[in-house]
């Protein structure tokens, strides 16, 4: 029996949809799937017209975690790093179940949107494993007290608690979120993501402030910013809003 294509890539205009495609194994992250995700997201950087990357799953489950028989810690690290550093806004569109490595995948994204009755959790502890690879990305979404509780107990939780914890985007309508993202200047969004991924806040105050001032000066001189300001003064949509 032929193996399924690990990742379905579907571009619709300025939106790139990436679908995990191993529903028989509940879209567990295996070597082939992670390799395909890394290659596709790296390639996406070359397409200036892309505005949003959506990661989703085929079948009844978004992602049940890493495939225990076919995964390498360094490959998962590479995948999460590539998603986190991608300058194009990323959205995880989650449904059914999202566990373990899947939680790391969605936490590396900028936004998480979940369908109703989705189950989340970190079950690693229940098989004697620990969620070490995904920890840095989970810590960007959840506070340390919550992480301690969820990592140690392996307790699963639903949409409402995920919303209360600040894990989910407040609007569950993904098309509404995509439309909202597209209203922002594409180059400005890339600059925001680069700034947030940098270590500028850890620098001495004088160096930090100088770097941020230089950044905003550079942005002000860009054609995109000039168009944005002119469109605001003229009470019209900027050219990138279609």
- The CATH topology of domain 7-179 is 2-enoyl-CoA Hydratase; Chain A, domain 1 (3.90.226)
| 114 within 8 A of 55, measured Cβ to Cβ | no
Q: Could you list the pLDDT tens digit for every one of the 242 residues in the chain?
A: 456 799 999 999 999 999 999 999 999 999 999 999 999 999 998 888 999 999 999 999 999 999 988 788 999 999 999 999 999 999 999 999 999 999 999 999 999 999 999 999 999 999 999 999 999 999 999 999 999 999 999 999 999 999 999 999 887 899 999 999 999 999 999 999 999 999 999 999 999 999 999 999 999 999 999 999 999 999 999 999 97
| 96 within 8 A of 61, measured Cβ to Cβ | yes
Total-model pTM: 0.94
Instruction: Find, among 96, 91, 26, 36, the residue nearest to 65 by Cα.
Output: 26
| 117 within 8 A of 158, measured Cβ to Cβ | yes
State residue 72's pLDDT score.
87
State residue 2's pLDDT score.
59
For the chain, the domains span 7-179, 184-233
């Amino acid at each position: 029996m032929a193996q399924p294509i690990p990742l379905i890539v579907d571009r619709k205009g300025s939106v790139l949809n990436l679908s995990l495609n191993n529903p028989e194994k509940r879209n567990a992250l295996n070597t082939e799937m992670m390799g395909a995700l890394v290659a596709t997201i790296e390639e996406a950087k070359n397409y200036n017209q892309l505005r949003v990357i959506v990661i989703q799953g085929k079948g009844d489950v978004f992602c049940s975690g890493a495939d225990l028989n076919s995964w390498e810690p360094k490959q998962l690290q590479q995948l999460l790093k590539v998603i986190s550093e991608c300058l194009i806004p990323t959205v995880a569109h989650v449904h059914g179940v999202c566990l373990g490595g899947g939680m790391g995948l969605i936490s590396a994204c900028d936004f998480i949107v979940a369908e109703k009755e989705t189950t989340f959790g970190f079950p690693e502890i229940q098989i004697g494993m620990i969620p070490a690879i995904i920890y840095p990305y989970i810590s960007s979404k959840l506070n340390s007290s919550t992480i301690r509780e969820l990592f140690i107990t392996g307790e699963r939780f639903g949409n409402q608690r995920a919303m209360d914890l600040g894990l989910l985007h407040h609007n569950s309508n993904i098309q509404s979120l995509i439309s909202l993202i597209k209203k922002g200047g594409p180059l400005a969004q890339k600059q925001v993501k680069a700034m947030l991924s940098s270590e500028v806040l850890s620098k001495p105050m004088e160096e930090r402030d100088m770097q941020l001032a230089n950044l905003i000066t550079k942005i002000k001189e860009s054609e995109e910013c000039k168009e944005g300001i002119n469109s605001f003064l003229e009470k019209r949509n900027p050219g990138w809003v279609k």
